[in-house]
Amino acid sequence: MDDKFIFEKIHQKFGEQIIGFEENYDIMAVYADKEINLKLLQYLYDDPELGFKFLTDLTAIHYPDNKGEELVVTYLVYNMLKKKHLRLKFKLDIQKPDIYTATSLHAGANWLERECYDFFGVNFVGHPNLIRIMNVEEMDYFPLRKEYPLEDQTRKDKDDDMFGRGDSHFNLGKLNI
C-alpha cells in the first residue's frame, strides 16, 4: 500500500473535496475539505484495503498569515497491520473554527480534541464535553495561537520591583542612606 494508491482511492471516493497532498519524510499529508473530515476518517477506518483504524495523534497549527484558513487541524492515523501512517489536514477559518468531532469513531479523540479546543479554540461540533482540559476554565483566550507572546500579559502578581526592573528599585534616595 503506497501513498499513490491511498491518494487515488480517497480521491476517487471524495473527488474534488480532496484538495491536495504533500510528502513529509515518510508520511503523506492529505488536505481535504473540512466538511468531510468525519466521513473521510470513517472511510479510512471502514475500507478493508485502507484500514486506518488507529488514531495516533490530533492537533492543530495556527498560520495567522493565511487569511480565511488560519487554523489547520491535523489527524495522524495509522494502519497497524501495514505499518503505514497517514496525515490528514483540514483548514479552518479562525472566525468560525467548526469541525466535526471524531469521538464517535475513536474514543481516544475525546481529550485530544479538548486539548485542541483549549489551545487553539477549534470548535469540535458534537463533542460530548468540549471544555478546557489543561488551562483554567475562566481563561477566555487560546494560548497557543501565534498572537500571544510567551509570558502571560494578564498577570498582575509579577511586580516589576521584585525583579529589579521597576523605577523605585534603584532609587537610592528612598533608602535614606
Partner 1 sequence: MGKIKDKKKIKNIELPEESLGQQTRTLNLGPTHPATHGVFQNILEMDGERVLSAEATVGYIHRAFEKIAEQRAFYQVTPLTDRLNYCSAPINNLGWHLTVEKLLGIETPKRVDYMRVIIMELARISDHLICNSVIGVDAGAFTGFLYVMEYRELIYEIYEEISGGRLTTNIGRIGGFERDFNQKAWEKIDKFLEEYPVILKEFESLFDRNRIFIDRTQNVGGISLERALSYGFTGPNLRAAGLDYDIRTAKPYSRYQEFDFKIPVGTTGDIYDRYMVRNQEMWQSLSLIRQAVQKINDLKGEEAIPHHADVPDYYLPLKEKVYTKMEEMIYHFKIIYGEIDPPVGEVYHAVEGANGELGYYLVSDGGRAAYRLHFRRPCFIYYQAYPEIIKGSLLSDAILTMSSMNMIAGEMDA
Contact flag: residue 177 with partner 1 (CB under 8 A): no
Q: Which of 7, 14, 31, 111 binds partner 1 (CB under 8 A)?
A: 111
Q: Rank residues 24 and 168 by Cβ distance to partner 1 and give the closer one.
A: 24
Q: Pick from 122, 125, 32: which is nearest to 86 by CA?
A: 32
Helix (H, G, I), strand (E, B), or coil: what is residue 73?
Answer: strand
Q: What is the largest CA-CA distance in the chain?
A: 84
* 61-80: contacts with partner 1 (CB under 8 A): 61-62, 74, 76, 80
Contact flag: residue 54 with partner 1 (CB under 8 A): yes
Does residue 31 contact residue 20 with C-beta atoms inside 8 Å? Answer: yes
Q: What is the DSSP string of 77-138?
A: EEETTTTEEEEEEEEE-TTS-EEE--TTT-TTHHHHHHHHHHHH--EEET-TT---SSS-TT
Q: Which residue has the cell 477506518?
A: 45
Contact flag: residue 138 with partner 1 (CB under 8 A): yes
Query: Could you give the string, one character per residue 20-39, with x where binding to partner 1 holds by CB under 8 A and - elsewhere?
Result: ----xx-x-x----------
In the complex, what is the shortest distance from the CB of residue 33 to partner 1, in angstroms, rounded to a whole number? 21
Contact positions toward partner 1, by CB under 8 A?
24-25, 27, 29, 53-57, 59, 61-62, 74, 76, 80, 83, 85, 87, 106-108, 110-112, 115, 119, 132-141, 143-144, 148, 150, 153-154
